[in-house]
Structures are given as structure tokens and as C-alpha cells.
Amino acid sequence: MFTMVGSFFMMLAIFLIYLHEGSTDLLVLYYADFGYNVQLLFWLCFFVSLAVKVPLFPVHIWLPEAHVEAPTVGSVILAGVLLKMGTYGMFRFVCPLFSFANYFLNPFVFIFCFLSIYYISLVTFCQIDLKKLIAYSSIAHMGYVTMGLFTYNFQGVQGSIFLMISHGVVSSLLFFLVGMLYDRYKTRIVFFYKSIHSYMPIFTLLFFFATLANIGFPGTVSFIGEFLLMFSFIGSSKIVFFFNALGFFVSITYAFWLYNRISFLLPFSVFVFSDLSRREFLVTFPLIVCIFFLGLFPSVLLDSMEPSSLNLLHLSNLLVNAL
């Protein structure tokens, strides 16, 4: 219902754009002269629709419920791939097509991004379901991704795109690991798990690496995106920089609380299960390699995304200046 209602606004905006310009070809629309009021209307329709898919506060409540009901593979696809459709849509359509509305409504976007980061982070502390906890953490991180797209700073956009990729890898790994626990214990309640490091050391080590990546520890893939995003705010807005840094600190708190709670809290659990099987290890190990490889060699992605980021973000502004 959420995605259907949100998509209705985008469908309405596309229909109105066709009536206004007589085409839905992007190469034609880049040259389109939308009036200020019309541009605001189109921007709101697109943004609301894509905010549901990201998701941003307050249209986020469908995602934790979807993760809880979905199987492990469904959660991996949802977090690793489908959520990026919302931010990709903003990057591909909203930013290049509606430049005036982007500048005018930029504070509006930042407010909802900050609400997504701080409110969702506080909600994460209250969760007792492992899948819901990781799902809310995923929503908070997507708030940073959305904010980076609207910085109108090249480093910010690069950081946002890099965070999309890192989020897909790290969230997929976390949902895989939670699914492995559920296969053994048949429960996702956090307080059920105690000291699993004593009989699942490989799992504990992989979960530790995933937690480091989730908080953006240096050397992991998330650190590069977060560093670029923070660097983009140093010169433009020190207030935004401060609140972003504080948000990262909050994410560190709940991430390590979860890791310590299920890995080292005594007394020992009366239920003892085997460590990761060979098949489970072969599923998760490539993601661990990807986390550290891209964290140590980010130029593999940064060099390839640089031309497309610059062209897509500033094409509309260059055309307006040229005309």
C-alpha cells in the first residue's frame, strides 16, 4: 500500500510532464523550461514517491514490517538492491530536472534526513527483534545517502553513491548472519542470545567485521562514503557537519550494544549450536572481502563514478546558464 500510493504521485507527475512538454524523453526534458510553481509540484510528486522507497521518515514504517515477514533472501534483496531504487531515482531524475526546486526545498530535505537519522536511531535502541533492529539501522543510514545527494557538492554526491554500494554490501551481510542465527535458534529476540562466541567463534568474528563496517570504521567500505560526505559539509555548513558527526556516534552506540549483547553477555546459553557450515561461510566470506577491498582500494569505484556523477548532477544547471 505504501509503495502503491507513493508511486501514484510519480505516475501523476509523469503524466503532467507529458502534457506540459509533449514528451517523456530525458534528453528533451533536460532542455525543458518548467515554471517555478510547476517545478515545485513535479518535485514534490517525485520526492514523495521516492522517499517511500528509500524510505525516509515518516513514510518508513513499512520497511521493518516487510523485513520481519520476509525470508532471509527476501531481506537481502530488499536491503541490498531495492532500497537503492529510491535514492537512484532522486539522483537520476529529481536532481537534474528540477534544479530550482532542489535549491528552494533543500532545507526541507535536510530536516527529514535528520529526522530519519536521529529518530530512527533512537527507535533502534528500543527494538528486541534482530531483523527489526537491523532494518531500522538501515533506514538511518539511508538518511545519510539522501542528504549527500542534495549537498550540491561533488564530494557529497560521491560519498552518497559510495554509501549506496556499501549499504548494499553491509546490510546484506548483516541480514545473512541474522538469518543463520534464526535457522539455529528459531527466534530473533535479542535477549535470547548469550555468549555465542564460546561455541560460534567464526560467526562472532564475521559479525564483528560486519559491525565495524556498519559503523564506518576506517579500512571498511562504509568509511569512504562517510568521510566524503562529512568532508563535503566542512566548508559549507559546520552545523550540519556537527549533527552528522553526532549521528555517526549514535550509530556506533547501538551497533556495538547489539554485538556485545549477543556475543559476550554472560551467563552462557543453555542452547549450543554448531558454527557456520561451509556453505554459509562461502556465502558470507565474499562480502567480507568486498567490505575490506573497497575500503582499502576505493579508487576502483570512485574513478568510475566520477564522470557520471558530475554530468548528471550539474547538467541541468549548466543548461540553464547556457540558455
By C-alpha distance, which of 35, 43, 46 is closest to 9?
46
Quick check: is 96 in a domain? no
Quick check: is 38 in a domain? no
DSSP state of 266: S
Left if phi > 0, otherwise alpha if psi is -120 to 50, otherwise beta: which for 203? alpha
47-69 pLDDT per residue, tens: 888 888 888 888 888 888 888 88
The pLDDT tens digits along the chain (323 residues) read 888 888 888 898 889 888 888 888 887 887 777 778 888 888 888 888 888 888 888 888 888 888 888 888 888 888 888 888 888 888 888 888 887 888 888 888 888 888 888 888 888 888 888 888 888 888 888 888 888 888 877 888 888 888 888 888 998 899 999 888 888 888 888 888 777 877 788 888 898 999 888 888 888 888 888 888 888 877 667 777 787 778 788 888 888 888 888 887 666 555 667 778 888 888 889 999 999 998 888 888 887 776 544 444 444 444 344 33
Quick check: is 49 in a domain? no
263 CB-near residues (< 8 Å, 6+ apart): 195, 196, 197, 204, 207, 208
Grid cell locating 46: 517525485
Quick check: is 319 in a domain? no
Quick check: is 75 in a domain? yes
Determine the structural domain holding residue 244 and report its residue range: 57-83+106-310
Cα–Cα distance for residue pair 243/116, rounded to 1 Å: 13
**pTM of the complete model:** 0.84
Quick check: is 288 in a domain? yes
Grid cell locating 319: 543548461
- Could you write out the DSSP letters of every residue in 199-238? T-HHHHHHHHHHHHHHTT-TTSHHHHHHHHHHHHHHTT-H
Cα–Cα distance for residue pair 86/263, rounded to 1 Å: 34
Domain count, the chain: 1
Quick check: is 126 in a domain? yes
Quick check: is 158 in a domain? yes
